[in-house]
Amino acid sequence: MSAPFTTRLANGIGEIVLDRPPVNALDSRGWLDLAAAVDAMNADPAVRVLILRAEGRGFCAGVDIKELQAHPERIVAVNRGNWETFRAIHRGRVPVIAAAHGFVLGGGIGICGAADIVLLSDCATLGVPEVDRGAMGAGAHLGRLLPLQTVRRMYFTGEPVSALEAARLGGIEAVLPRAELAAAARALAAKIAAKSPAMIALAKESLNGVEATDLERAYRWEQGFTAQAYLMEDSRKTRDAFVATGGRADFGARE
């Protein structure tokens, strides 16, 4: 099976473009491959800045719940793939710009929350429907984008926020028409790529070091509760219900 994304490099700007129809939900192999691709970009001296964006209906719907229903033992691999992807984005050498459109859910929140700069299309919505899918996770990364009480309200209700509301509340750089999103990300990336790579790498490491929390440790804490949830009957029932509807409860209103 081909990777659920494409990669490209031009003028010091690397791009990873998610493209796994219908909703860019990655399976365990896909998350591990994505982590490896981000690590490869960070290891390439020709890359000065990285853009993560997507094709299709939305940016990323997170993990492939159908895979986990068929193979629940793969939760360990999925957790590892998520953790490695977000670590590579957050701790990597180069600045990462996430340019997201449509639905940004679960692992999509992790990508954006781990990134250095986030651009959203005006059609984007951010959500953490984890409770309704019998899992945990994404709270640590959403906390880098939105205030604490907003994160908890979103988590407890499963209700998303719009791009404009997210920008009003927190750390969104800009909200743009979808047709302008990729170009805006490249224009911003070009400004960073023109700087000294050594200085930018040092700046990113310095800024990571003064963050209030250890993002990777906080996310690992959350993942432990995902593993615990998967042992519960309530978790199985919510995942069964999600698979039975084909995910329409999450995506139908935002296509």
pLDDT at position 239:
75
Please indicate whether residue 143 or residue 75 has the higher confidence score (pLDDT): 143
Q: How far apart are CA 135 and CA 150, in angstroms?
A: 19
Go through 83-122 and write b for each residue having 16 or more CB atoms within 10 A of its CB, e for each that does not: bbbbbbbbebbbbbbbbbbbbbbbbbbbbbbbbbbbbbbe
Using 50, 70 and 90 to split pLDDT, how confident is the model at 223? confident
- What pLDDT shows up at residue 255? 30
Mean pLDDT, residues 171-189: 97
Residue 161 pLDDT > 80: yes
Superfamily of domain covering 5-179+204-254: 2-enoyl-CoA Hydratase; Chain A, domain 1 (3.90.226.10)
Quote the percentage of the chain above a pLDDT of 90. Answer: 74
What pLDDT, on a 0 to 100 scale, did the predictor assign at position 233? 85
pLDDT category of residue 249 using cuts at 50, 70 and 90: very low
Determine how β-strand 125-127 pairs with β-strand 161-162: antiparallel
Q: What is the largest CA-CA distance in the chain?
A: 53
Rg, C-alpha atoms of the chain: 17
**CA 239 to the chain's CA centroid:** 21
* pLDDT average, residue stretch 124-143: 89
The confidence score (pLDDT) of residue 240 equals: 79
pLDDT (average), residues 62-67: 89
| Residue 167's pLDDT band (cuts 50, 70, 90) | very high
Q: Is the pLDDT of residue 254 over 50?
A: no
pLDDT value at position 1?
63
**In this predicted structure, what is the pLDDT of residue 156?**
94
pLDDT of residue 231: 78
Question: What DSSP string runs through 139-159?
Answer: HHHHTTTS-HHHHHHHHHH--
- As a whole number of angstroms, the distance between CA 18 and CA 37 comes to 11
Query: In terms of pLDDT, which residue wins out, 72 or 34?
Result: 34
Q: Is the peptide bond before 147 cis (omega within 30 degrees of 0)?
A: no
pLDDT at 138 over 60: yes
Residues 6+ apart with CB under 8 A from 117: 95, 96, 97, 98, 173, 188
Q: Are the beta carbons of 74 and 230 closer than 8 angstroms?
A: no
Quote the CA–CA distance of 199 and 165 in Å, as a whole number: 34
- Residues 108, 142: Cα–Cα separation, whole Å: 10
All structural domains of the chain with their residue ranges: 5-179+204-254
DSSP H or E stretch at residue 91 = helix 75-91
**Mean pLDDT, to the nearest integer, of 22-31?**
96
Span 99-109, mean pLDDT?
97
Summarize the confidence of residues 168-192 as an average pLDDT: 97
Indicate the pTM of the whole model: 0.90
Do residues 8 and 47 lie in contact, with contact meaning Cβ atoms separated by under 8 Å? no
Average pLDDT across the chain, whole number: 91
Mean pLDDT of 201-213: 94
Can you state the angle between helices 107-114 and 75-91, rounded to 10 degrees?
A: 20
Q: Name beta bridge partners: 2.
A: none
